[in-house]
Structure 1
Amino acid sequence: MSERVPAPGGLVLVQGLVNTLDLEGGVDGLDTADGRARFGLTTAEVPGARDLRESLRVTLLAHAGHPPHREVTPLGVLLAGAPLLVTIDTDDGSARLAPADGDPLLARVAAAIADSLTAGTWTRLKACEAPTCHWAYYDRSPAGRGRWCSMQVCGARAKMRRYRAK
């Protein structure tokens, strides 16, 4: 849906990975060569990427206060396989976390999460409350209490269901 705005910084990688699966339409972007290329995946790496995607989705649902949609490997367990190293730029002395050896996608996700923790943006990345959606979105609401990826779509549907139930 076009009104969905990308997350800031490295969180766009996490958001993009979670959103490779359209629950409503049943389309998985990782099934296509272009979808795999977007994340630098081979066909053999897709099952691991799907596990990571669903662990991320459960975490993003938790950010929004929603229960898990299914049982998954905890994200912390997966991220333990992607150690990060502190690197220092010798020109300006700046420091950053860089992935060590291992699964390239997992390492990039770990680095993006670490950067967002430092920036204070990690918990603003959430998954939509709608069970047929669970799309990852960045909550830009002032209070940080957004519930839907889009007020115009999922939010409107939920409000209409509540109205009709009355």
Structure 2
Amino acid sequence: MNARSPAPGGLELVESLVNTLDLESGADALDTPDGRAGLGLREDEVPAAKELRESLRAALLAHAGHPPHRTVTPLTELLAAAPLRLTVDPADGSAALTAADPRPLTSRVAAAVAESLVAGTWTRLKACEAADCHWAYYDRSPAGRGRWCSMQVCGARAKMRRYRAK
């Protein structure tokens, strides 16, 4: 959808998952073998991945100051079932929170969210304000007030609609 650079750290996984569905065209990468392979998913994991994707989208819309447009399972409920493991490196004492089972997508997403909370980047991952887009993007603007995945596409469309409404 846009040419932004990917989100930092584990948030790239979250961004990739949310962006598997193109709302404008209806194309869903999770319905294809290549799309599933990109996230390390088996076909039987797709329904849970789609539920997780929409809960994440709702959280990213909230980061941008917008209420979700549809009812979804709260992200808290989905991530509560994700087993995580705290590891401490004996050599330097550094600690990391990782998925206890690296296969389940929910655990990898929970670890990514936890990592981003510590890094202070979680609320910078947002969903585009455009109702026909809601593409996930990492807001790198200095004030953290980005509204669209792309100023050249969604931002320009919104500004044109406001101009024409006048």
Please tell me the TM-score bracket, short chain as reference.
over 0.9
For 2:99, the aligned partner's letter is: P
Length-normalised TM-score, structure 1: 0.96
Q: Name the % identity.
A: 75
Query: How many Å separate the matches in 2 of 1:83 and 1:41?
Result: 17
- Superposed displacement of residue 99, structure 1: 1.6
Q: Deviations over 1:87-122 (max 9, x none)?
A: 111222110002224861111100000000000000
- Provide the alpha-carbon RMSD of the alignment: 1.2
Q: Which residue of 1 aligns with 2:34?
A: 34
Q: Does structure 2 retain, via aligned residues, the 8 Å contact 1:125–1:138?
A: yes
- Superposed displacement of residue 154, structure 1: 0.2
Alpha carbons of structure 1 residues 145 and 13: separation in structure 2 relative to 1, 3 Å: same
Gaps in structure 2 of 5+ consecutive residues: none
Figure out how many residues of one structure are paired with residues of the other and give that number: 166
Query: How many Å separate the matches in 2 of 1:44 and 1:108?
Result: 17
Q: Does structure 1 retain, via aligned residues, the 8 Å contact 2:124–2:139?
A: yes
Length-normalised TM-score, structure 2: 0.96
Q: Does 1:6 align with 2:15?
A: no
Q: Which moved more, 1:24-33 or 1:3-12?
A: 3-12
Q: Which runs of 4+ in 1 moved over 6 A?
A: none
Q: Which moved more, 1:9-18 or 1:89-98?
A: 89-98
Q: Which residue of 2 aligns with 1:113?
A: 113
Equivalent position SS for 1:76:
helix
Q: Does structure 1 retain, via aligned residues, the 8 Å contact 2:102–2:108?
A: no
Q: Deviations over 1:67-105 (max 9, x none)?
A: 112000000000000032211112221100022248611
